[in-house]
Amino acid sequence: MELWIPLIMADLIDTGIQNGDTAYIWSKGLLMLLVTAVGLGTALVCQTLATRASMRFGTELRSDLFAHINRLSHADVDRLGTASLITRVTADVNQLQNALAMFIRLVVRSPFLTVGAIVMAMILDLRLSIVFLVVAPLISLIIYVIMSKTIPFYRNLQKKLDQIAKVSAENLAGVRVVRAFSGQEREKARFQKAVDDHAALSIRVSRLSALLNPLTSIVMNLGILAVLWLGGVQVNTGRLTPGVVVAFVNYMLMILMQIVIVANLVILFTRAAAAANRVGEVFATEPAISDPAESPAEPDEAAPAAEFVNVTFAYHEGSAPALSDVNLTLRRGETLGVIGATGSGKSTLAALLLRFYDVSAGEVKVFGHSVKEYALTALRRRIGLVPQGARLFTGTIRDNIRWGKPDATDEEIWQALETAQAADFVRRLPLELDHAVEEKGGNFSGGQRQRLTIARALVGKPSILILDDASSALDFATDAALRQAIHKNTPEGTAVIYISQRVGAIRHADRILVLDEGRVAGLGTHEELYKSCDVYREICHSQLTAEQLGS
């Protein structure tokens, strides 16, 4: 429709205006209005469909990306970075979504109009259309040079955005720590540096991108001048009519408009290309830990609950091992205490049992089979973990407890809360199990959050229960009541691992594992270790009084 309008205008000038035919002018004017209305209608349909397609694309891509990230191992997420992954799921997908909408609406249309305008001009007059054939390659060259220069900058720009997201996430997550140490000014300075780096790079790339419009406009306007000058000469000689020259100028303006659009799209697609590479990097990352290719193993009911056989593990290749040559057998129904200094590898032991990471050497077994032989869901369903950080999710208390067992009844939830010493404070809440949990459980105290996370692990009645420093926010009386309730209420044969830095929390365990810089320093009962293990004796002396040691 748009390509037709200059021809109608040329006819209107050469026939209607030159002959003074008012009826002909009106008929051609109405035809132009009709053609414009049809073009507008189809453009609106195109824009509507483009918006729907791009929004659906963004939704599907974001869902697939999120699902893929959830399949990645802890090591993969550590390597890519949490802040970077958040930026890729949000800002990078938005870039791709916008690029697709513009592609459907404009990229299909602009080349059609540009090529169509050149073809129509060649039909009108081949000699005059040589101007188009000179202008088009020059503009293409300008676009190519600027694109090749700006793409690397846009990739770095997205990395700078990652840094802003990282600083923001750290600051918001640790807002209490920041305020407790009056570190607001320091954090403002750190954030300011991140945004200044982003702004400096943005300005640098914008200076390059800003050359695109003026350079293309200069070339196109020179082309229009050439058309007017050459066309005017040929009108004087009678070879061309004024209408044809006007049509030529319209086609040239049409090309100019499309090139301006393309110039702006180049910036958009350059950023989208950088975003596509970053999203593609996530999809190209194959999970380091996945379900076995063959049939998953079934637990051996006669085997020990867990075994560590000559296990060595380092978080990063070439780094110092977090665990070295660990040998341990956890019997069914046994209570094992794990103690050691900060950084001795206590939590790493739990992470390997759940197969958050794969060992560097040796083997971890659960119920007679290597953890690598189990389907991940089946393995983790048999192990209940209460992590160091008491993490709750938005929803209700019932929703949070059901993470441990999706089909848990209210009776089972209350049983778990009773064992976790949380039932009393939940009953005092106005809505009890339906009480809302705010982001990260911010409307509960640290001790309440810990007890709710313990109930979440208990409700599924796991075969192995791991409490990783899970009572650090509890008073001694509640801690003692919790240990007694777990011993009394967990199913027979449940193996319990208490990980703690407090001797009082693990001294009554059946056996105690003492870790020192990733190595086993001792294994035995409290009395045995106090006599034979220097590391354990030192920990006891630092925490217990002479009277407590005597008892």
Asked if 381 contacts 465 with a C-beta cutoff of 8 angstroms, the reply is no
Q: Say if 144 falls within a structural domain.
A: yes
Give yes or no: residues 94 and 167 share one domain: yes
Which of 116, 141, 99, 166 is CA-nearest to residue 3?
116
Give yes or no: residues 309 and 207 share one domain: no
Give yes or no: residues 261 and 373 share one domain: no
Q: Is 389 exposed, middle or buried (0-12, 13-18, 19+ CB in 10 A)?
A: exposed
Q: What is the pLDDT of residues 132-147, one digit of tens each?
A: 778 878 887 887 787 7
The CATH number of the domain holding residue 237 is: 1.20.1560.10
Look at the block and give the residue holding tokens 């999809």.
Answer: 283
Its sign, for the CA torsion 46, 47, 52, 57, is positive
Q: Say if 361 falls within a structural domain.
A: yes
Q: Say if 172 falls within a structural domain.
A: yes
Tokens of 495: 């193996």
Give yes or no: residues 116 and 170 share one domain: yes
Q: Say if 467 falls within a structural domain.
A: no
Q: Say if 250 falls within a structural domain.
A: yes
Which of 369, 351, 339, 286 is CA-nearest to residue 313?
351
Give yes or no: residues 313 and 275 share one domain: no
- Looking at residue 346, its pLDDT comes to 85
Which of 458, 464, 512, 527 is CA-nearest to residue 486?
458
Asked if 150 contacts 267 with a C-beta cutoff of 8 angstroms, the reply is yes
Give yes or no: residues 217 and 308 share one domain: no
| Strand pairing report for 383-386 and 464-468 | parallel
The CATH number of the domain holding residue 314 is: 3.40.50.300
- Spell out a b/e string for 161-171, using b for 16 or more CB atoms within 10 Å of the CB, else e: bbbbbbbbebb
67 contact partners, CB below 8 Å, separation of at least 6: none
Cα–Cα distances in angstroms (integers) from residue 482 to residues 92, 339, 401, 478, 543, in the given order: 47, 19, 17, 6, 21
Q: Say if 497 falls within a structural domain.
A: no
**119 φ, ψ to 5°?**
-65, -45
Give yes or no: residues 145 and 240 share one domain: yes
**344 φ, ψ to 5°?**
-85, -10
Q: Say if 159 falls within a structural domain.
A: yes
528 contact partners, CB below 8 Å, separation of at least 6: none
For the whole model, what pTM was predicted? 0.67
| End position of a domain, from candidates 213, 247, 281 | 281
Q: Say if 179 falls within a structural domain.
A: yes
Q: Is 306 helix (H, G, I), strand (E, B) or coil?
A: strand
- Looking at residue 215, its pLDDT comes to 84
Separation CA 77–CA 543 (nearest Å): 37
Number of domains in the chain: 2
**399 φ, ψ to 5°?**
-60, -45
- Looking at residue 34, its pLDDT comes to 92
Give yes or no: residues 40 and 102 share one domain: yes
Give yes or no: residues 13 and 108 share one domain: yes
Helix 22-71 with 93-102: angle, nearest 10 deg? 160
Give yes or no: residues 304 and 177 share one domain: no
Stretches where the chain sits below pLDDT 70 are 158, 173, 176, 181, 263, 545-551
Tokens of 531: 């006599």
Q: What is the CA radius of gyration of the chain?
A: 36
Give yes or no: residues 277 and 321 share one domain: no
Domain that holds residue 37: 5-281
- Looking at residue 449, its pLDDT comes to 86
Give yes or no: residues 373 and 507 share one domain: yes
Q: What is the pLDDT of residues 153-203, one digit of tens each?
A: 777 776 787 778 777 777 776 776 777 767 778 788 888 888 888 888 888
- Looking at residue 237, its pLDDT comes to 78
Asked if 444 contacts 392 with a C-beta cutoff of 8 angstroms, the reply is yes
Tokens of 466: 């791991």
